[in-house]
Amino acid sequence: MSKFFLLLTACLVLAGAAYAQDASRYAIIPKPVKLTPAKGQFKLDAKTQIVLGSSAPDLKTATDFLVNLVENSAGYKLNYSAGAKKNTITFALDNSITNDEGYKLDVTKKGIKVTSKTAKGAFLAIQTLRQLMPAAIEQKNAGLKKIEVPAVSIEDAPRFAYRGMMLDVARHFQPIDFVKRYIDLLAFYKINTFHFHLTEDQGWRIEIKKYPKLQEIAAWRNETLVGHSRDKEKNFDGKRHGGYYTQEELKDLVKYAQDRFITIIPEIEMPGHSRAALAAYPELGCKDSTYTVATTWGVFKDIYCPNENTFTFLEDVLTEVMAIFPSKYIHIGGDEAPKDAWKKSAYAQGLISYHGLKDEHGLQSYFIRRMEKFLNSKGRAIIGWDEILEGGLAPNATVMSWRGEKGGIAAAKERHDVIMTPNSHLYFDHYQTKEGRKAEPLAIGGFSPLEKVYSYNPVPAVLTPEEAKHVLGVQANLWTEYIPTKEHVEHMAFPRACALAEVAWTPVAAKDYADFTQRLGQNLKHLDALQVNYSTYHQNQPAAASVSQANSK
């Protein structure tokens, strides 16, 4: 064996060791845009003080998060100081940083400095700093006298402004404390939007004071299907299931999310997926019938009748929703709305004729446009699933593309804003192994392993640069037909949400699945400390080629 070959082998071994060491030392997810390693570490202790620059008093919401994090784990409270020079964590604002969520983080032996354009950027920098700390920082009363933070210089900003995760609490209700925990975990990975799916055929989860039957009737179903909806034999558990959030609980939740710089977007489904509401107020339907809150899964033919009573009801509901949620966007659903009832309804057919609409798809467009006009008049905008493209898109609507990318591409080409959330990659109710039901808890179907999630690029290659600007970002969806418990929610969401975070944040050229899994192995120690019931299926799945090469869209 030649000396050259031995030298080359030694260099490769050393490089590999350094790579693994850096991945362990800087186990940050999502991967920062630019990270420069440095020697040594900063030792945070009870004498460390936080310094807010004179231009940064509005950063206190962000910095208080750090104070509470340390106090919860270490038992001492970091104090604020205006003039401290040593052993400090300094925060400052810098308008030269172009991205509102951008930040710089510099850690040396002497101290830590965070520079950002906004309080939001400072908060995101704190999440990076938190991931650099020992995992015990997540544990209450861990007794950390000194918290070592590795020296580093980071310049960072997100690829997309919209980085979302959805949780469906309509199929299976979850307590408000768990929803807060879910928001905490999203914040840890710099996911800044929580899509809250509140109404469905199987349950209505938001208090509407003007319509009390939504709480009394629509929020509860008599029993729930056991097994898969495709199973030949249908069995039920015989247990009443349901619940709803009071408006006061939701206002508190909004504030909780705001303190973590997360926007909550509520979803009120229409015109389909409305059976629970129709059970409470059957006069809103197209037929003279008694409706019941659904106890099985799937798409139902029950749909709001597009008459004035329905529009009054929905406008009243949305008025109360808007009083709770200050988000720019209100999600109005629009998906999976069979038109059978409209085809049989004399009123619906008369409306089609009166307005010169082409067909029932045109009637759905009329329905969505009316709701958009109402919400626009209140200073809000709508998001709808990609079915709202059928019959013509409402003028200012943003499309959430779930049936693959086709709807998103069509909307972007029409210069409408788009959020990519294709079920091919970003449905977290899918199985995580090829064995599916044989190896995992029951799921709806599909196969979306960690690497497949990581491989996704939200900007389709067919879009021009100008059209691509309309892709606001990316979201993963967690539907809960087969996910009844909070432990199961965590099992399905993580670590796939970690991959989503990197899809949403990190430039495509910087993504590499092998590097990601190296960092993930260390990063998950934080979730261990938080007792998150994340899936470990990815540990048995060998990494394929670098995703930056495998997915070049």
For 114-177, the DSSP string reads: EEESSHHHHHHHHHHHHHHS-GGGGSTT---SSEEEEEEEEEE--S-SEEEEEEE-SSS---HH
> Rounded to an integer, what distance in angstroms lies between the CA atom of residue 332 and that of residue 372?
9
Query: Burial code of 505-540, b = ≥16 C-beta within 10 A, e = fewer?
Result: bbeeebbbbebbbbbbbbbbebbebbebebbebbee
Helix boundaries (H) for 383-534 = 406-413, 450-455, 465-468, 486-493, 496-505, 513-529
Q: What are phi and psi of 386, to 5 degrees?
A: -65, -10
DSSP conformation letters of 62-104: HHHHHHHHHHHHHS--PEE-SS--SSEEEEEE-TT--STT-EE
What pLDDT score does 15 carry?
A: 44
Higher-scoring residue by pLDDT: 286, 20: 286
Collapsed DSSP state (helix, strand, coil) of residue 255: helix
What pLDDT score does 274 carry?
A: 97
Q: What is the pLDDT of residues 308-334, one digit of tens each?
A: 999 999 999 999 999 999 999 999 999
What pLDDT score does 23 carry?
A: 82
What pLDDT score does 11 carry?
A: 45
What pLDDT score does 8 carry?
A: 45
Q: What is the mean pLDDT of residues 218-227?
A: 98
> Rounded to an integer, what distance in angstroms lies between the CA atom of residue 206 and that of residue 220?
12
> Rounded to an integer, what distance in angstroms lies between the CA atom of residue 191 and that of residue 261?
9
The pLDDT > 90 percentage for the chain reads 87
The pLDDT mean for the chain works out to: 93
> Rounded to an integer, what distance in angstroms lies between the CA atom of residue 477 and that of residue 195?
9
In this structure, the number of other CB atoms found within 10 A of the CB of residue 340 comes to 12
Q: What is the pLDDT of residues 134-182, one digit of tens each?
A: 999 999 999 898 999 999 999 999 999 999 999 999 999 999 999 999 9
What is the distance in angstroms between the CA of the first residue and the CA of the last residue of the chain? 43
Q: Read off the pLDDT band of 43 (50, 70, 90).
A: very high
Query: Burial code of 490-503, b = ≥16 C-beta within 10 A, e = fewer?
Result: bbbbbbbbbbbbbb
Q: What is the pLDDT of residues 423-433, one digit of tens each?
A: 999 999 999 99
Q: Read off the pLDDT band of 24 (50, 70, 90).
A: confident
Question: In terms of C-beta density within 10 A (0-12 exposed, 13-18 middle, 19 or more buried), how is residue 7 classed?
Answer: exposed
User: pTM for this structure?
Assistant: 0.94
Size (the chain), residues: 553
What pLDDT score does 85 carry?
A: 84
Q: What is the mean pLDDT of residues 264-270?
A: 98
Taking 3-state DSSP, the helix, strand and coil percentages for the chain, each rounded to the nearest 5, stand at: 40, 20, 40
Strand partners, 242: 220
Q: What are phi and psi of 92, to 5 degrees?
A: -145, 150
Q: In sequence order, which residues have a C-beta less than 8 Å from that of residue 283 and are 6 or more positions away? A: 309
> Rounded to an integer, what distance in angstroms lies between the CA atom of residue 103 and that of residue 61?
16
Collapsed DSSP state (helix, strand, coil) of residue 538: helix
Q: What is the pLDDT of residues 352-405, one digit of tens each?
A: 999 999 999 999 999 999 999 999 999 999 999 999 998 888 888 999 999 999
Helix boundaries (H) for 406-495 = 406-413, 450-455, 465-468, 486-493
> Rounded to an integer, what distance in angstroms lies between the CA atom of residue 1 and that of residue 362?
75
Q: What is the pLDDT of residues 448-489, one digit of tens each?
A: 999 999 999 999 999 999 999 999 999 999 999 999 999 999
Helix (H) or strand (E) holding 471: strand 471-478
What pLDDT score does 6 carry?
A: 52
Helix (H) or strand (E) holding 200: strand 199-200
Q: What are phi and psi of 10, to 5 degrees?
A: -60, -40
Place of tokens 């998001």: 383
Six-digit token string for 309: 């009573």
Q: What are phi and psi of 127, to 5 degrees?
A: -65, -35
What stretches of 234-354 adopt beta strand conformation (E)?
A: 235-236, 241-242, 263-270, 329-333
Query: Burial code of 207-220, b = ≥16 C-beta within 10 A, e = fewer?
Result: bbeebeebbebbbb
Q: In sequence order, which residues have a C-beta less than 8 Å from that of residue 128 and are 6 or more positions away? A: 28, 32, 103, 105, 154, 156
Q: What are phi and psi of 225, to 5 degrees?
A: -60, 135
Does pLDDT of 1 surpass 60? no
Q: What is the pLDDT of residues 523-550, one digit of tens each?
A: 999 999 999 999 999 887 654 433 332 3
Q: Read off the pLDDT band of 13 (50, 70, 90).
A: very low
Contact by Cβ (8 Å): 305, 236: no
Contact by Cβ (8 Å): 150, 24: no
> Rounded to an integer, what distance in angstroms lies between the CA atom of residue 485 and that of residue 496?
18
Interior CA angle at 326 toward 320 and 331, to 5°? 75
Q: What is the pLDDT of residues 173-212, one digit of tens each?
A: 999 999 999 999 999 999 999 999 999 999 999 999 999 9
In this structure, the number of other CB atoms found within 10 A of the CB of residue 121 comes to 27
> Rounded to an integer, what distance in angstroms lies between the CA atom of residue 377 and that of residue 434?
48
Q: What is the pLDDT of residues 432-450, one digit of tens each?
A: 999 999 999 999 999 999 9
